[in-house]
Chains A and B, each alone.
Chain A
Amino acid sequence: MLSFIARRVLAALGTLVLSSVLVFLAVQALPGDVATQVLGKDATPDAVAALREKLRLDQPAWERYADWIGGAVQGDFGSSLVSGKAVGGEVGMYLGNSALIALVTVLFAVTGSIVLGILAGLYRDRWPDHLISTVSLVGMSVPEFVVATVLVLVFSVALPWFPAVVLYGPEASVGRLMPAVWLPALALAIVMAAYIVRMARTSVIDVMASEYVTTARLKGLSGWRVVTRHALPSALLPTLHVIALNVAWLAGGVAVVENVFNYPGIGKLMLASVQNRDLPVIQAIALISAVVYVVCNLAADLGAMALNPKLRTRGRTR
C-alpha cells in the first residue's frame, strides 16, 4: 500500500515538473523574444534592451528556468511587469478570493450531485430519476456564462437578493465578498454537478443490479443499509475521478464566471494579465492551474484506494 502511495506521489511530482517545463518553454517559444513581445512593436530599442536586462534574457534558458522554478517553490514568481509588485503576493490575494468561490462550489456541487445522482439511480425510470436526469442534461448543455447571466437576471434584477456585480477590489475582506460569492458559486455548481450526477446515477444503477447487492437484500438488511454499506463504496469509485476532473475544471470555469460578476478572483487577474502581456503573472497562474489538476487527481487516486480494498491489499500475501 505504501509503495502504491509513493508511486502515485512520485508520478504527481513528475507531472508537475513536466508541466512547469512546458509553461516555461511556451513563453520562450513566443516569436521574437519576451521583451519585444511585452513592449510591442513601437517600443524603443533602449526600452527593449532595459527589459532584456531586467528579465536576464541574455542568460541561457535552463539557468533562467532553474531560477524561476527555484523561486516558485518558495512562492517567489518574480515581479509583475505592469505593477512592479511581487507576483506571488498578488496572485495569492486573487487566488484566495477565487478559492472562496471554489470552496462553496465544491461543497454544494459535490455533495448535492452525489445525493441527486444516487437518488436518480435508486429511483431508476421513475419520476425522481426523470426530473434529475432532465435538469442535469440541461445544466450540462448550457454554457456557464449563460447560467450566470440567467442567475443575475433572476436573483439580482428580478429579486434583489444578491449583488449582480462586485464593487470591491481584490483587497476586500472575506466578509465583504461573501454576499457576492453565492451567485457565481451556484452558476459553477450547476454546470459542474451535471456531469457528476450522470456518472453517479449510472454507477449506482450498475452496482444496484450486482449480485452482491441482491445478496445483501436477501440477507434481510434494510434498504438504507444495503445502499450505504454495500452499494455506495463501489458506486462512488468511478464517480471519484469525474469529481476530480470537475474540481480541476473549476480553475478554468471560474475565469469566465468571475468576469460576468466582475469578481476579483484569479480569472479576472488572468484575463487582465493576458491583455497587459504580464508574462510572469501568466506563468504563475498556469503553474498553479497545473498544481490544482495534479492535486485533484492525486486526491482521487488516494480516495479510490480508500474505497477499493483490492488496491489497498495489493502485495499482501494470501
Chain B
Amino acid sequence: MTAAVVSVTSPVSVDSLCVAYRSGGRDVPVVREVSLEVLPGQTLALVGESGSGKSTVAATLLGHLRHGSRVTGGSVRVDGADVFALPARELRRLRGGTVAMVAQNAGHALTPSMRIGRQIKEAGGDIPVVDLLEQVRLPRPAELARRYPHELSGGQQQRVAIAMAIAARPKVLVLDEPTTGLDVVTQRGVLDLIGALRDELGLSAVLVSHDLGVVAHMADEVAVLRSGRIVEAAPTGRLFAAPQDPYTGRLLASVPRLDDEGLARVGETGGREVRPKAVIPEEAPVAVSVRDVTIDYGSSRAVDGVSFDVRRGEVLALVGESGSGKSTLAWALAGLRTPSGGTMTHGPGHDGDPGAGDLARPAGKRPSALRRRVQLVFQNADTSLNPRRSVGDAVRRPLRFFGTTDSRAATAARARQLISDVRLDPALAERLPAQLSGGQRQRIGIARALAGEPDVLVADEITTALDVSVQADVLRLLDDLRRERELACLFISHDLAVVRGIADRVVVLWRGVVVEEGPTDAVFSAPGHPYTRQLMAAVLEPDPGARIVVAPAPGWVDAAEGGDLWVAPGGGHRVRRWRAAG
C-alpha cells in the first residue's frame, strides 16, 4: 500500500485580493493584490497604520465588506471554501462555525439590550455558556451570564467577546485590534488568554494590530500593509530583527521603548536617534502644587491624598491602569471636578488676590486670568472638536474668549500662528475636523489649548488613539513646546514606554493613591513598588525575543500606616510601604 498523499488545505488562503469602494462615481481601491496564507495552528499578523486596509482584509475572511465596498478581484478561501462565492446560507454557517471574529471594541460590539449569556448562546455550538465564561477566566460565570454588557468592565467585555467567538469551536479566529482600547495590564491578561485558547484549541488566527509590541508577542508570521498593499511579509523573528522594507524599519523604530532615555527621532531608513531630555534649571518655579487632594464620586473615593509639584518646563507623568484615578486628577486640575479635600494651587503669588491661584475651584468660578493659565488637551481630538466648525474656529474661539487679541484680523493672524506653531500648514484652518487625519486633529487640540497662553498643560492620554509614527510626532511636538514655552506639563498615560521617553518625573497611581514617585530614570531603573513592576512587565516590547525588563511582581499588600508611609531610596525617589502577601 502506497502512502496516500494527503493534501492539506490551509485554513486561510487569500489570493491577489482587490477591494474598492465607490466614491464620486469611481472606484477607490482600498486593498490591492493582497495574497496571504495561514497554516494550521499559526498566527498571522496584519500590521499597518490606519487606512492601510488591514481591517478590510481581515473582515473579508468572514465575507464581510463595509457598506459600499466590493471585491474587484482575487479570492478569499477559508477552510477550502471560496467565501465570496458561497450562497447566503453557507456563508452564515461559515461565520461563527468555521471562522469567528473578535472585534476591536467589545463595549460597542455587544448588543446593549441583551444579556451576556444569551448573546453567547446565540453564537451556536453546544458548549454550555457557563463553561465558556469559565474558559475565558471570568469570575462567577453563572451570575455574569445574567448581566448586561454595560455592567462589565472593558476587559471583561473583551473576554465575553472572546467566549462568543470560540463558542462554536471555529477553526480560524480573526482578531481585529482585540486589545486596543484596554490599558496595559488588562491588555496583557487578554492577550495571554487568547494565546492560551489558541494553543489549546489548535486555532489558526489572523491578528490585526497597529501595536508592534502586541504583534511581536503573538504572531508567527507578519504581513506589513501600507495603502492596501503588502510591503513586507516574513516570519516574526526575521521581520523584527532585520526588516527589509524601509517602511517596516521606520514603523519599528517609531515604537517607544522602555529603555529609551528620551524621545527617539526616526530617520528615513529607520535609524533611531534619542534626544536627551531637557535639563530643568534648579530655580525653575513651581507651576502647580497639589497637596493631599482627595476626589470622591458619590461614596467611592477616586483619588485619595495625592500630593505633587510640577515646575515650569517639566513633564510630570501620572501613570496607572484604568480606574487608578489619573484622569480624575487631570480633570480636577482643569476645573472639571471639584476635589473634596486638600489644596491645588497655581504658581507663585498672584498679586495679592488669595483666590487667584486656587485650582480647587471649578473652571467656571476661576478668574479668567487663571483659567487660561491651565489648559487641558483631550484624549480624543475627533470627539472634542465641534464637527461642524472649522478647526481654525476652534483655535480662534478661545483667543476671542480670553481677549488675548483685540481685533478680528489680529485673532485670525494669531490663530494661523498657533496652527503653524504645532507644525501644521495654516491653510488647514478652514477645514472641518473630519477632513483632517487623527494626528492633525490632535495637533489642533494642542493649538486650541495653547491659545490661552497657558503655563500648565494637562495632556490626558493624548497619543493613545494614534498610530505609532504619528504618536512619535505628537510627542516630539509636545517636547518642543515645553522647551520653547517652559510649559509645565502633566502627562497622563498608561503606556510606560511613552512615559519613559517624555517625562522627567513619574507618579504611579494605584486605586487613587500614589505608590511610587521619582525621577523617570530612577523609577525605571529601580522600580521599588510591585505595582510599578507589574505595569512595566505588562509593556510589550516590539521584539519577539525581548528579555524581561523586570522580574514579575510578587503578591503584595499595602503596608503604609499612620505617619510612616514611605521608603525613600533618595534623590526624590520614594516608594509607598508594602510587604509580600501571605
User: Is chain B a partner of chain A in the same complex?
Assistant: yes
Q: Which residues of A are at the interface with B, using a C-beta cutoff of 8 A?
A: 209-222, 225, 229-230, 233-234, 307-310, 313, 316, 318
Check A219/B150 contact, CB under 8 A, given A211-B103, A309-B112. Answer: no
B113 touches A309 (CB 8 A): yes
Check A215/B109 contact, CB under 8 A, given A220-B94, A221-B122, A316-B151. Answer: yes
B90-105 residues at the A interface, CB under 8 angstroms: 92-97, 100-101, 103, 105
Residues of B within 8 A of A212 (CB): 108-112
Residues of B within 8 A of A220 (CB): 92-97, 123-124, 168
**B566 adjacent to chain A (CB < 8 Å):** no
Q: How many residues of B contact A (CB 8 A)?
A: 29
Select which of A219, A230, A234, A316 is within 8 A of B95 by beta carbon.
A219
| Docked pose: A81 CA to B110 CA in angstroms | 62
Check A218/B64 contact, CB under 8 A, given A309-B150, A313-B151, A316-B151. Answer: yes
15 contacts between A and B (CB under 8 A): A212-B112, A216-B111, A217-B64, A217-B95, A218-B64, A218-B100, A220-B96, A220-B123, A234-B111, A234-B112, A307-B113, A309-B113, A309-B150, A310-B150, A318-B151
Distance in Å: Cβ of B542 to nearest Cβ of chain A: 28
| Docked pose: A210 CA to B101 CA in angstroms | 16
Residue ID in chain A nearest B110 by CB atoms: A212
Residues of B within 8 A of A217 (CB): 64, 95
B103 touches A230 (CB 8 A): no
| Docked pose: A207 CA to B108 CA in angstroms | 11
Interface string of B471-491 (1 = CB under 8 A from A): 000000000000000000000
| Docked pose: A264 CA to B112 CA in angstroms | 47
**B114 adjacent to chain A (CB < 8 Å):** yes
Distance in Å: Cβ of B98 to nearest Cβ of chain A: 9
Residues of A within 8 A of B150 (CB): 309-310, 313
Residues of B within 8 A of A211 (CB): 103, 105, 108-109
**B84 adjacent to chain A (CB < 8 Å):** no
B96 touches A219 (CB 8 A): yes
Residue ID in chain B nearest A316 by CB atoms: B151
Apart from the given pairs A211-B105, A212-B109, A230-B113, 16 other A-B contacts in the complex at a CB distance below 8 Å: A212-B111, A214-B103, A215-B161, A216-B111, A218-B95, A218-B100, A220-B92, A220-B94, A220-B95, A220-B168, A221-B92, A225-B122, A229-B111, A309-B148, A310-B148, A313-B151
Residues of A within 8 A of B109 (CB): 211-212, 214-215
Check A209/B67 contact, CB under 8 A, given A307-B113, A313-B151. Answer: yes
Report the 6 A-B pairs with minimum CB-CB distance, sorted nearest first. Answer: A220-B95, A220-B96, A233-B113, A211-B108, A309-B148, A215-B109
Residues of B within 8 A of A215 (CB): 101, 103, 109-111, 161
Residues of B within 8 A of A316 (CB): 151
| Docked pose: A221 CA to B151 CA in angstroms | 24
| Docked pose: A217 CA to B168 CA in angstroms | 15
Residues of A within 8 A of B458 (CB): none
B113 touches A222 (CB 8 A): no
Distance in Å: Cβ of B95 to nearest Cβ of chain A: 4
| Docked pose: A303 CA to B189 CA in angstroms | 39
**B263 adjacent to chain A (CB < 8 Å):** no
Distance in Å: Cβ of A139 to nearest Cβ of chain B: 28
B164 touches A219 (CB 8 A): yes
| Docked pose: A119 CA to B394 CA in angstroms | 40
Residue ID in chain A nearest B59 by CB atoms: A218
B113 touches A214 (CB 8 A): no
B149-175 residues at the A interface, CB under 8 angstroms: 150-151, 161, 164, 168
Residues of B within 8 A of A230 (CB): 111, 113-114
Residues of A within 8 A of B103 (CB): 211, 214-215
**B62 adjacent to chain A (CB < 8 Å):** yes
| Docked pose: A212 CA to B161 CA in angstroms | 11
Residue ID in chain B nearest A213 by CB atoms: B111
Distance in Å: Cβ of B478 to nearest Cβ of chain A: 31
Check A219/B123 contact, CB under 8 A, given A309-B113, A310-B112. Answer: yes
Residues of B within 8 A of A310 (CB): 112, 148, 150
| Docked pose: A225 CA to B92 CA in angstroms | 12
Residue ID in chain B nearest A312 by CB atoms: B148
Q: Select the residue from A211, A313, A316 with max chain B CB neighbours within 10 A.
A: A211
Select which of A222, A229, A313 is within 8 A of B148 by beta carbon.
A313
| Docked pose: A221 CA to B124 CA in angstroms | 9
Interface string of B55-77 (1 = CB under 8 A from A): 00000001010010000000000
Distance in Å: Cβ of B69 to nearest Cβ of chain A: 13
| Docked pose: A234 CA to B114 CA in angstroms | 10
Q: Select the residue from A209, A213, A214 with max chain B CB neighbours within 10 A.
A: A214
Distance in Å: Cβ of A311 to nearest Cβ of chain B: 11
B122 touches A219 (CB 8 A): yes
| Docked pose: A307 CA to B113 CA in angstroms | 7
| Docked pose: A219 CA to B161 CA in angstroms | 11
Residues of B within 8 A of A214 (CB): 64, 103, 109
Distance in Å: Cβ of A307 to nearest Cβ of chain B: 6
Distance in Å: Cβ of B105 to nearest Cβ of chain A: 7
Residues of A within 8 A of B111 (CB): 212-213, 215-216, 229-230, 233-234
Residues of A within 8 A of B93 (CB): 220
Distance in Å: Cβ of A59 to nearest Cβ of chain B: 50
Q: Select the residue from A218, A222, A307 with max chain B CB neighbours within 10 A.
A: A218
| Docked pose: A209 CA to B68 CA in angstroms | 12
Q: Select the residue from B93, B110, B111 with max chain A CB neighbours within 10 A.
A: B111
| Docked pose: A252 CA to B124 CA in angstroms | 51
Residue ID in chain A nearest B105 by CB atoms: A211
| Docked pose: A214 CA to B92 CA in angstroms | 13
| Docked pose: A229 CA to B115 CA in angstroms | 11
B288-340 residues at the A interface, CB under 8 angstroms: none
Q: Select the residue from B62, B103, B108, B122 with max chain A CB neighbours within 10 A.
A: B122
Residue ID in chain B nearest A221 by CB atoms: B122
Residues of B within 8 A of A210 (CB): 108
Q: Select the residue from A211, A212, A217, A318 with max chain B CB neighbours within 10 A.
A: A212
| Docked pose: A233 CA to B109 CA in angstroms | 15
B114 touches A218 (CB 8 A): no
Residue ID in chain B nearest A210 by CB atoms: B108
Residues of A within 8 A of B148 (CB): 309-310, 313
Residue ID in chain B nearest A211 by CB atoms: B108
| Docked pose: A11 CA to B150 CA in angstroms | 27
Residues of A within 8 A of B62 (CB): 218
Residue ID in chain A nearest B92 by CB atoms: A220
| Docked pose: A218 CA to B170 CA in angstroms | 13
Residues of A within 8 A of B114 (CB): 229-230, 233
Residue ID in chain A nearest B63 by CB atoms: A218
| Docked pose: A307 CA to B148 CA in angstroms | 12
Residues of A within 8 A of B94 (CB): 220
Distance in Å: Cβ of B181 to nearest Cβ of chain A: 12
Residues of B within 8 A of A218 (CB): 62, 64, 95-96, 100-101
Distance in Å: Cβ of B288 to nearest Cβ of chain A: 33
Residue ID in chain A nearest B97 by CB atoms: A220
| Docked pose: A234 CA to B148 CA in angstroms | 14
